[in-house]
Structures are given as structure tokens and as C-alpha cells.
Amino acid sequence: MTRTLTEALRALDTDDLARLLTLRPDLAYPVPGTLAELSAQATTASSVGRALDGLNSWQRLVAEGLAALPDSVALSELADLLHADPAACRQAAGELRDRALLWGSDDQMHLVRAVRDHLGPYPGGLAPPSSRPLAAEEIDGLLLEAGPDAQLVVERLLWNPAGTVHGAERNVSASTARSPVERLLARRLLRAAGPDTVLLPREVAWHLRGQRLRPEPVPTTPPELTGRRRRSELVDRAAVGAAYGLVHDVELVAHTLERTPHRLLREGGVAVRDLAALARGMDTEIAYATFVLECAAAAGLLALGDAGRLLPTGDYDRWAEQQPADRWRGLVAAWRHSDRLSGRAGEPGAHALGPESEAPGAATVRGLLIEVLDAVEVGTVLDLDDLERVVAWYRPRLVRVGGIPLDSVLAWFWRETGWLGLTSLDAVSSFVAAATRVDAQPLPAELAHAFPGTVEQIVLQADLTAVVPGPVPYRLARDLRLLADQESRGGAAVFRFSPTSLRRAFDAGWSAADVHRWLAHHGTTDVPQPLAYLVDDLARRHGSIRVGSGGAYIRIADTAQIAAILSHPEASLLGVRELGPGVLIAAAEPYEVVEFLHRIGHSPIGEDSSGRSVTSPDPLRAPRRTIHRPRLEVHAAEAAAAVLASDADHRRRTATGKTAITAGVDRTPETLARLASARRRSESVRIHYVGSDGRPTERELTLLDTDAGLIRGTDASSAQLVTIPLARVSSVGPPGIGARLD
């Protein structure tokens, strides 16, 4: 027989302990040194509060029923109180044990004291029993004697037994009572609980409620999601289109950010004007453009580069070379685990990628939503109101997420599942099953084959356009976007060749022969004559003007071109003047002169000090530092094994009289030394700690102060002042994702 929660935890094996740490991940970070430490951490008010908030409606009702009963209660007593099936009560009690909220056998169940404290002094709205409880027959008669106005008072206290009244401890009798409260006090239908507080006795409330713990019955299983059916093949075909469209749009956004500078605002987030321009380029609504940005940033495909410019990362290039199905799965995983609300960016004063969209708990709601959808048959058309009722059963205490009402958050998430292809035509698709196993390898073959295969050929047309009949490999798409401008999005996109687009390729070092060779290799027909003429004509003119550093010089052989350049109004602004025959000089940087010559219709190229042509640099890439802090995952099995091994070592050393050296050793001096060194050198550090919500968190800080048990610094990504209690810090490491020193 177990006597304490710690003893109950010692009876668990590795799998049972891993399940506990999975259900309550805040207990695994930092890893407790012993099972006694784990027990102490599991019974703190904050940890118990988070665990109770994660219970479904039936589990919470069972917890309230146990709290309403005395300690060491039998399962049969609980079933009698709830008027429920003993098997359902036994299952719920086992789920509470799995969460370390309950311990003991079915004959002697002990609710953790912190759970009773959290549920308050009146669990289920029931006050403690009276010292002299009234019988049911007495209650009806006395209530009738008290009168209708007294009955109204009782009805107000029926589900919340405490009321406030002046002079509650007054001595009254049936003959001297004047007010409704006094008549109830005189008949023991109310009792005083202090100078100004009265309580409705438990037996009175229980009788008048009809022996119910809640006004409405609580089902032991979630409400069933039903609806009319669509053909699963039709739903999946539409879902594939949405999923591939998202992958394509991420590529389109990354390409746009490479070519056009987009800098985040000082307070964080993309400017409304820039976001609107992105939406126009994608031919879509702003809400969807915001979602694409948030998804790509959550997946680490976009990040902040130099001078606060938003750029693709090196991870984007690796992601873009994967198969479309794997690219889609990476976006789904990032969306599911992101604690941000992209829908919030559409509210006044908010911006895409801005700090106001951070919402701890959003990932939990997304995971729950996917689990709910996974339980529904493919092709079932769902109603959002029904979905909200099911989610409310699973999380009855969940009212707001990041300060936003739950119904609004679910509406945003439901819309996003359509953009991801998890739902389509308001029906559940087969892709939900893949989303529940986003970390599994490999992706189911039937889903991988549902994505369109890549094509290596394009259709060249005489109107200087190219039709791409399907998705193309990343490198081919990169070359095509260099040679031509995309005019339409989707599986069959249209690209247009123009002097500007071809000049872009020549600036990147392509020759006319290279362009002709590429077109001949990838075109399904011969190169149309207009396109061939355009390439050759631009090639003849490209490089006839040479620009170097000076400021900048312009080397040119054509006297007519020299006269045209010198006569242009912008030439004087750049300080362009003739230095000698065929040579001009400018009081500006070479890139400014090149841009000026492009604007007035010429095709210059740059050259270095030795006269060699300088091609365009490689595409800009941001360092591997995400816009949002990554969510750290706790490996429950590893943590469980570490706790059991550490606890066994602790008890062995304690038994032999030696000092325990366990996983829970105090590293505070080492941490302080690292922080002091970083502060002296003005270096930033990455701090891993437990956040106020109990989740593993990390921040990259520039340190300001480390006094009074607190670490103060400015966040490298948002420039906000941050204060972290030293006791919550688990490790300190150099900046960079995943860099840790334990």
C-alpha cells in the first residue's frame, strides 16, 4: 500500500513515468533529480493548475466529485455521487492517476491536496455538510414556510453556495425573522460562515439540485461530429490543390523577398503596405498572404537578415529541393507547433510576423483540433458550431487563447486547415491523418503520390510567354524566374520574357549562348523566333557600356550613347561628366550608376579594377536565426529514464551515507560565471529556462544585469527588455539555434 504520492511514483516503470511527463511536460524541464523532487514539482499550485486546465469535461467532473468527497474515498462512493457508470469513473480516475493528480487504489483514492486547493472551498458548488443535516422531507417543508422570496435567495445560491449579508451571525428565530435571509437562517436552510457570509448547506443544495453536481449532465465521451458526406476522392483532389498551392506560394514569397527589400518595422512585423504588395503579387487576400509568411517563418524558411531585412534562409534552399509532399509536411508541422495566431495580424494595430500575434497555448489548440478532425470520417462536412462544442468538451476551461476568444481562434484555425489542405470543401480530407504523424517517416505512399509530379519541360510561345504545365524542380524554377517574370500562380503557371527579365539573367553572368541552350533544352518545341531575336538583340547591346569604381567610371565606345547619357537630367544629379574619349566619370557608387543606366534604357554591366565583368551576387540569405523562438520539445522517455536512474543513485548513495551526485546538481555558480563573462565581453547568450506558463523556453539576450537572483537583458529579436528568474534557468549557451551548454 502506498502512503504518499512519492511512493506511488516509485511504483511506476519507465513507460508509466514517460506517460506522466508527456501529459505534464512542465515536469520534465528541468529534469528533476529525484522522484521526491518530481513529486514536489507535481504538487505545486502552478503545475496542478495547468494539469487541471488540460482535463476534458468528464475528467474535470470526476476531479470535482473527488474534491467534494472526503479523502481516501472508494470508487463506488464516487460513482454514487456522480450517478455514473463505475467503469467510466474507473477510467477517469486512472487518467487522473496518469497525471499524478490522484494516487491510491480504487478502494482508497487520494486526491492531491493541491487539486483540492485549486478547486476551491466549494468543489462542484457544494459547501461542507452541516453539523446537524436536515432530511429531505424537512427541507421541502421548511422552504415552503420561508416563503417565495426566500426561495429566490436559495435559487441564487444553489450552484454557488456563498453569499454576503451584513450581520450573518445574528441570533434569529422563526418568530423574530423579518427578511428572507433571516427566515432561512432561522430554519437552518442557511448557516453563517462569518460575520458577513452565509452558506447554503450541502444537504439543502444537493436535495434541491436533484442530486446533481452540474446543472446539465456531462457526457463521459465527446459529442459525435457528424454531417453530410462528400465523395472522399473529390475532397482529396481539392485538398491536394490547396496543399500544393501553399507550397508554391511559399516559393513565390521567398523569390519576391530576394528581389525586393522588405524590412520589418521597429516594433516588429511587416508593414501593411508591404504586405498588401505581397498579396497583390500572389493575387490573393491579405489574410492568406499573412498566413503564408507566418507558416514560412515558423518553419525557419524566412528570417531577419542584415539591416532588419526579411530574407529566405539557407534552410529554404534545402526545403525547396525536397519533393512537394515533404515540403508540405514541413509547413504543416511548423503550423501545428507554432504558438502564434496569424489571424490576429488582421486586427487594427497588428502586423504580420509582429509580436502581438504571440499566443502561448495556440499549439495545444491546433493539436487538439487535428486530433478531433482525425477521428472524423474522410469526406464528412463539418459545421464550425459543432466543432466548437467538441473542443469545449475537451477543454472546458479554455475560454481565450492569447487574449482572443476561443470561438474566434477556432474560426481562424478552421480557415487555415482549408489553406493547408487538411480540410477542403468544408469537409475533412485524408491529409489530416498525415498531420497527426508529422514526424513519422516516410509519408504514406498514397498521399505522397497524390501530389502532382514535377515536369522538366516548358511550352515556349511566340508571344514571349512560357507555360509551365505543372510543378518544376527548384533549380529549374529558379532559372525560369531569373529569365522571365511570373504572371500567374498555380500548378500551370505562365511566365513572360521581357528585356528587363533577360537583362536580369545577363547581369547574373548568363550569355546569349547560355540562354539559347537553356531554352532549347527545356522547351517542348523550337525556340520561337521573336524570343530568339529578343535574346540576341539584348546580348548585342548588353555590356556595350562598362561601369567601374571611381566614384564610378563609365567606359563606352558609342559617341551617340555618350551624348544621350550626358544630356539626361539625372546625369547631373549623379555628377556624370566626360573624362576623356569614350570615358565618363560619376560622383556616385557603381551600383547607382548601373541602376540609372538601366532606367534610361541601356544595358550596362559592372567591372572590377582589372576590367573583368562583375556578375550579380548570389541570392541573399538570412543567417539561420528564426524570427520566432523555436518551441523546445521534451523527450519524455529520455527524461523518465534519467529521473529513475538519478533517483536510484540518490537512494543508493543516501543509504551508504555518501552525498548524492545526481542530475539535479546545482549549476548556479557555473551559470553565473558564464553570464558574467558574456556581460563583460558584451556578447549575447541563449538562455534556456522554464517560462511562466511552465513550458521550456529560450531567448537570445544581450545582458544588462544579473543581480538579486534575476537576469535582465534585451531580446535580440524584438529589442524588448526581459527579466528571467535565475532559479528557472536550466542552461546558458552561445547564440544560435540548438546551441546549449548543460
The whole-angstrom separation of Cα 568 and Cα 552 is 17
Residue 39 buriedness (CB in 10 A; 0-12 / 13-18 / 19+): buried
H/E element, 578: strand 577-580
Instruction: Find out whether the peptide bond into 442 is cis, omega within 30 degrees of 0.
Output: yes
Residue 440's pLDDT is: 52
Q: Which of 354-368, 448-462, 672-686, 728-742 has the lowest mean pLDDT?
A: 728-742
Which cell numbers in the block locate residue 548? Answer: 567601374
The whole-angstrom separation of Cα 669 and Cα 732 is 12
SS3 content of the chain, % helix, strand, coil (to 5): 45, 15, 40
CATH hierarchy code of domain 666-742: 2.30.30.100
H helices within 421-523, ranges in order? 431-435, 445-448, 474-483, 499-507, 512-522
SS3 58: helix
* Percent residues over pLDDT 90 in the chain: 37
User: Which of left, alpha, beta for 256 (phi over 0: left; psi -120 to 50: alpha)?
Assistant: alpha
SS3 23: helix
SS3 515: helix
pLDDT digits (tens, 9 = 90+) for 383-410: 999 999 999 999 999 888 988 999 999 9
The whole-angstrom separation of Cα 100 and Cα 8 is 9
Which cell numbers in the block locate residue 625? Answer: 536565426
The whole-angstrom separation of Cα 671 and Cα 665 is 12
H helices within 198-323, ranges in order? 202-208, 232-259, 272-282, 286-298, 314-320
Closest CA to 314 of 303, 324, 325: 303
Which cell numbers in the block locate residue 77? Answer: 462512493
Which cell numbers in the block locate residue 449? Answer: 503520390
Instruction: Find out whether the peptide bond into 30 is cis, omega within 30 degrees of 0.
Output: yes
Instruction: Render 333-348 in DSSP notation, one character per residue.
Output: HHHHT--B-GGGGGST
Which cell numbers in the block locate residue 219? Answer: 457526457
Q: With 60 as the cut, is the pLDDT of residue 566 above it?
A: yes
Largest separation between any pair of C-alpha atoms in the chain: 122
Q: What is the signed CA dihedral for 520, 524, 527, 529, rounded to 10 degrees? A: 170
The whole-angstrom separation of Cα 389 and Cα 58 is 14
Look-up: residue for cell 513515468?
A: 17
Reported as a pLDDT band with limits 50, 70 and 90, residue 693 is low
In sequence order, the 6+-apart residues with CB closer than 8 A to the CB of 24 are 42, 47, 50, 51, 99, 100
Greater pLDDT, 423 or 129: 423
Greater pLDDT, 416 or 573: 416
What angle do the packed helices 474-483 and 499-507 form, to 10 degrees? 120
Look-up: residue for cell 542530475?
A: 663
Question: What is the chain's Cα-based Rg?
Answer: 35
Which cell numbers in the block locate residue 46? Answer: 502552478
Strands 696-705 and 710-715, bridge-based pairing: antiparallel
Q: With 50 as the cut, is the pLDDT of residue 154 above it?
A: yes
Q: Which of 108-117, 126-135, 294-303, 674-683 has the lowest mean pLDDT?
A: 674-683
506 φ/ψ angles, rounded to the nearest 5 degrees: -65, -40
The whole-angstrom separation of Cα 200 and Cα 162 is 7
Average pLDDT score over the chain: 85
Residue 630's pLDDT is: 46
SS3 193: strand
Give mean pLDDT, residues 197-216: 91
The winner for highest mean pLDDT among 60-74, 178-192, 433-447 is 60-74
Look-up: residue for cell 524584438?
A: 718
Q: Please give the DSSP secondary-structure letter assigned to residue 554.
A: E
Cα distances (Å, whole numbers) of residue 197 to 65, 124, 170, 466: 24, 19, 11, 81
Q: Within the chain, how many helices (H) and strands (E) appear? A: 31, 26
What angle do the packed helices 384-394 and 57-68 form, to 10 degrees? 30
481 with 508: CB under 8 angstroms?
no
DSSP bridge pairs for 162: 199
pLDDT digits (tens, 9 = 90+) for 463-500: 999 998 877 888 888 888 889 988 877 667 889 999 98
551 φ/ψ angles, rounded to the nearest 5 degrees: -25, -80
